[in-house]
């Protein structure tokens, strides 16, 4: 990414923040491109919410700079940063109608203080005209979110999904340069979450505004984001597209966090000639580690296959079936590999593969598991992923 691309989005440089003695963010850099849907993903306590609040101006960073649309905003209060935020709790004004909630950001900008005071406000001849304009915009936003029928209701009379939309509307109504969202789906039930996920992605596509979205849910991150910044302990572990994070995880930590069920990790040692050994099997990677270096092998559940037809050739491991879970469209086999220490592993099969395997008796103990090339990752002693040498990717026994 070049500087020109990111100049219009949000740029964070060297952001650090401690609460008391606890370091929450440790000198973090991030460039969010204008118009992209960037997700800050990470386990709770990783600093993602704090980072979002620093961008919003609700929290002040100890050091570092926040720039929005190319200008530093560190000295600006939240309202002047041209950002809007959707809170986890929605934070709607409970005493105001939906229309009042949606109108608030505009009233604050377009009416003078005197025109906002109770009673006195009616003295201004200008106010009625301004309010008509505001209400027209409120109505337009409400129609876009299909909540125009709710404008006269109060938040307490709305369902969770409706409240969520009102919160979105309150953010949309002022056409901010950046939308900030702090786990906006976490208070919705599972079915609604899927629906709102689509709507959010759709909204992003329609508005073309920069979205910065905080979540601990990898499904939300994978399905909606242009790019994901995976965070842990106040640092960004990897910044990339959902494909990057899943198929080319930068480190073992990233590989472990992304993907469900999570990948199987086997401890191995380098053989000195660019490969590793798993029991009797040798896997060539073209790495340069000296013989005996401790390495970790990560295997995605779908990288295991049963020797059905074309899958039959490839390095094979023996395993014992512990439990099989039926998820309808797919099966998860929990197995123990026939290696020293009997390490556990999870195998993902499609329903069709499972059916075929059962028909040909491949699910009888001991199982034979074939490793596919895609979804097998090697990690060095520092946890960083070892990029396989293309000349050696063919797996040979």
Partner 1 sequence: MAVSSVPFASPAPQLAARERRLALAGAAFAAPAALLLVAILLAPLIVLVLLSVTDYRLGAVAVRFVGLANYAEMFSDPVFRRAIRNTFLYVAFVLPAGVFGGLALAALVHARKRTRSLYEVIYFLPVTSTLVAMATVWQFLLHPSLGPVTPLLAALGFGRLDLLNDPDLALATLALIGLWQLLGFNMVLFLAGLSAVPRDLYEAAALDGAAGAVDRFLRVTWPMLGPTTMFVTITTTISAFKVFDTVVVLTRGGPLGATDTLLYVLYLEGFHYFRTGYAAAMTVVLLAFLCLLSLLQARLIERRVHYA
Interface pattern 126-155 for partner 1 (x via CB under 8 A): ----------------------------x-
DSSP state of 20: T
Q: Classify strands 178-182 and 275-278 as parallel, antiparallel or unpaired.
A: unpaired
| Listed residue (225, 302, 243, 248) closest to 32, CA to CA | 225
Where do runs of H (alpha helix) occur along the chain? 3-6, 48-56, 98-110, 113-116, 125-144, 160-172, 190-207, 218-224, 242-247, 252-257, 351-359
Residue 381 CB, nearest approach to partner 1 (Å): 44
User: Would you count residue 282 as binding partner 1 (CB under 8 A)?
Assistant: no
Residues 271 and 277: beta-carbon distance below 8 Å: yes
State which residue, 113 or 327, has the beta carbon closest to partner 1: 113
In this structure, how many other beta carbons lie within 10 angstroms of the beta carbon of residue 349? 23
Contact residue for partner 1 among 35, 45, 64, 78 (CB under 8 A): 78
Measured between alpha carbons, how far is residue 109 from residues 105, 118, 259, 339, 373 in Å?
A: 7, 17, 44, 67, 58
Residue 54 CB, nearest approach to partner 1 (Å): 13
Contact residue for partner 1 among 16, 91, 194, 269 (CB under 8 A): 91
Contact residue for partner 1 among 89, 326, 350, 393 (CB under 8 A): 89
Contact residue for partner 1 among 4, 77, 309, 328 (CB under 8 A): 77
| CB neighbour list of residue 159: distance below 8 Å, 6 or more residues apart | none
Residue count of the chain, please give it. 397
User: Would you count residue 87 as binding partner 1 (CB under 8 A)?
Assistant: yes
Measured between alpha carbons, how far is 79 from 288 in angstroms, rounded to an integer? Answer: 53
Interface pattern 95-124 for partner 1 (x via CB under 8 A): xx-------xx--xx---x--xxx------
Residue 77 CB, nearest approach to partner 1 (Å): 6
Phi-psi label, residue 101: left if phi above 0, alpha if psi -120 to 50, beta otherwise = alpha
Contact residue for partner 1 among 94, 340, 341, 361 (CB under 8 A): 94
Q: Which of residues 195-254 bind partner 1 (CB under 8 A)?
A: none
Q: Which of residues 293-332 bind partner 1 (CB under 8 A)?
A: none
Which residues are bridge partners to 379 per DSSP? 296, 385
- Taking contact as CB under 8 A, which single stretch among the options 44-52, 83-91, 188-196, 286-294 is the one that binds partner 1? 83-91
- Taking contact as CB under 8 A, which single stretch among the options 29-37, 75-83, 285-293, 320-328 is the one that binds partner 1? 75-83
User: Would you count residue 20 as binding partner 1 (CB under 8 A)?
Assistant: no
Residue 156 CB, nearest approach to partner 1 (Å): 8
Residue 217 CB, nearest approach to partner 1 (Å): 20
State which residue, 105 or 234, has the beta carbon closest to partner 1: 105
Count, residues near partner 1 per rule CB under 8 A: 28
Measured between alpha carbons, how far is 369 from 304 in angstroms, rounded to an integer? Answer: 6
Residue 171 CB, nearest approach to partner 1 (Å): 8
State which residue, 56 or 376, has the beta carbon closest to partner 1: 56
| Listed residue (105, 83, 80, 79) closest to 166, CA to CA | 105
């Amino acid at each position: 990414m070049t500087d020109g691309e990111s100049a219009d989005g949000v740029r964070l440089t060297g952001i650090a923040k401690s609460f008391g003695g606890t370091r929450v963010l440790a000198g973090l850099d991030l460039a969010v491109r204008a118009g992209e849907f960037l997700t800050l993903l990470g386990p709770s306590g990783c600093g993602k919410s704090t980072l979002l609040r620093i961008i919003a101006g609700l929290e002040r960073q100890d050091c570092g700079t926040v720039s929005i649309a190319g200008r530093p905003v560190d000295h600006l209060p939240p309202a002047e940063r041209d950002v809007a935020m959707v809170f986890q709790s929605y934070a709607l004004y409970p005493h105001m109608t939906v229309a009042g909630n949606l109108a608030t950001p505009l009233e604050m900008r377009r009416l003078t203080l005197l025109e906002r005071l109770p009673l006195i406000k009616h003295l201004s001849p200008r106010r009625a005209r301004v309010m008509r304009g505001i209400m027209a915009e409120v109505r337009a936003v409400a129609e876009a979110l299909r909540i125009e029928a709710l404008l006269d209701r109060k938040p307490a009379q709305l369902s969770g999904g409706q409240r969520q939309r009102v919160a979105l509307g309150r953010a949309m109504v002022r056409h901010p340069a950046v939308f900030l969202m702090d786990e906006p789906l976490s208070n919705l039930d599972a079915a609604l979450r899927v629906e709102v996920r689509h709507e959010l992605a759709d909204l992003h596509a329609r508005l073309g505004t920069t979205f910065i979205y905080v979540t601990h849910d990898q499904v939300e991150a994978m399905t909606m984001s242009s790019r994901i910044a995976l965070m842990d302990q106040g640092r960004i572990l990897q910044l990339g597209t959902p494909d990057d994070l899943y198929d080319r995880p930068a480190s073992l930590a990233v590989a472990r966090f992304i993907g469900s069920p999570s990948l199987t990790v086997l401890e191995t040692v380098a053989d000195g000639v660019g490969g590793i050994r798993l029991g009797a099997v040798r896997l060539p990677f073209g790495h340069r580690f000296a013989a005996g270096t401790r390495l970790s092998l990560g295997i995605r559940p779908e990288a295991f296959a049963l020797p059905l037809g074309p899958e039959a050739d490839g390095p094979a491991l023996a395993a014992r079936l512990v439990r099989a879970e039926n998820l309808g469209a797919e099966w998860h086999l929990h197995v123990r590999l026939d290696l020293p220490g009997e390490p556990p592993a999870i195998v993902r099969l499609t329903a069709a593969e499972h059916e075929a395997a059962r028909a040909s008796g491949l699910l009888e103990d001991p199982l034979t598991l074939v490793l596919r090339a895609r979804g097998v990752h090697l990690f060095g002693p520092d946890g960083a992923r070892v990029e396989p040498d293309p000349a050696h990717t063919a797996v040979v026994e």
